[in-house]
Amino acid sequence: MPAHPLRALREDIAAVKRRDPAARSSLEIVLVYSGMHAVWAYRVAHRWWRSPGLSVPARLLSQLARAVTGVEIHPGARIGRRLVIDHGMGTVIGETAVIGDDVLMYHGVTLGGNRRGRDDKRHPTVGDDVVIGAGAKLIGDITIGSHSQIGANAVVTHDFPAHSVLTGVPARNRHLHHDVTKPV
């Protein structure tokens, strides 16, 4: 169930403070964080997208947000709570993409499709608490498990399980060789 809009706003601000050491105040986040502006516009556009007769206004709002923020989020995408898009310029999230809670995405990330079918699921599904590095491309109807990390400029075209560390072109899982529950 989605959070109340005011609660969601507070959660978003707190999420940025936790994940971005450059965030100095709530006021600064509200006024100048373009990734947050894009997410907030998406939330309104998504609500319109699901309402009969409002798909065109939803797309217009998403395109206005794209022009202002440099972040394109299709209003049909499904995004969980506390998404942080840091330095969002060039980020693209496609129509059938699904993003879990507490995801951190850097600039230039693409959650793109690879098929043309209108009713097909053609964009990635990203689990909870995933970090996606700058310039990473996730293409097609793939699933990235929760608690994964995707390196900068990785190209991901296949499913990967939870706790994956993905790097390279094409991306491969770099398994951790130590017990992550114990300090290193």
Q: What percentage of the chain carries pLDDT values higher than 70?
A: 93
Q: Residue 179: what pLDDT?
A: 53
| Interior angle at CA 103, CA 48 and CA 150, nearest 5 | 125
Q: Is the pTM of this model over 0.85?
A: yes
Q: Residue 181: what pLDDT?
A: 52
Phi, psi of 8 (to 5 degrees): -60, -40
Q: What share of the chain is helix, strand, coil (3-state, %, to 5)?
A: 30, 20, 50
Q: Residue 184: what pLDDT?
A: 41
With respect to residue 178, please indicate whether it lies within any of the assigned structural domains: no
- How far apart are alpha carbons 120 and 141 in whole angstroms? 9
With respect to residue 116, please indicate whether it lies within any of the assigned structural domains: yes
With respect to residue 183, please indicate whether it lies within any of the assigned structural domains: no
With respect to residue 182, please indicate whether it lies within any of the assigned structural domains: no
Q: Residue 94: what pLDDT?
A: 96
**Predicted confidence band of residue 2 (pLDDT cuts 50, 70, 90):** low
Are 43 and 8 in contact by the 8 Å Cβ rule? The answer is yes
With respect to residue 180, please indicate whether it lies within any of the assigned structural domains: no
CATH of residue 57: 2.160.10.10
With respect to residue 32, please indicate whether it lies within any of the assigned structural domains: yes
Residue 170 contacts by C-beta under 8 Å, 6 or more apart in sequence?
155, 156, 157, 158
Residues 49-93 have pLDDT tens digits of 999 999 999 999 999 999 999 999 999 999 999 999 999 899 999
- pLDDT over threshold 60, residue 182: no
- How far apart are alpha carbons 138 and 124 in whole angstroms? 6
Q: Residue 1: what pLDDT?
A: 47
- How far apart are alpha carbons 14 and 81 in whole angstroms? 12
Residues 163-175 have pLDDT tens digits of 999 999 999 999 7
Question: Over the Cα atoms of the chain, what is R_g?
Answer: 16
Dihedral sign computed on CA atoms, order 75, 80, 81, 82: negative
Residues 138-148 have pLDDT tens digits of 999 999 999 99
Range of the domain at 164: 5-173
Token pair listed for 8: 């969601």
User: What's 163's DSSP letter?
Assistant: T
DSSP lists the bridge partners of residue 78 as 98
Q: Residue 107: what pLDDT?
A: 96
Q: Mean pLDDT over all residues of the chain?
A: 92
With respect to residue 87, please indicate whether it lies within any of the assigned structural domains: yes
- pLDDT over threshold 90, residue 117: no
SS3 call for 79: strand
Phi, psi of 105 (to 5 degrees): -125, 135
- How far apart are alpha carbons 179 and 161 in whole angstroms? 17
With respect to residue 184, please indicate whether it lies within any of the assigned structural domains: no
Split into its structural domains, the chain has a count of 1
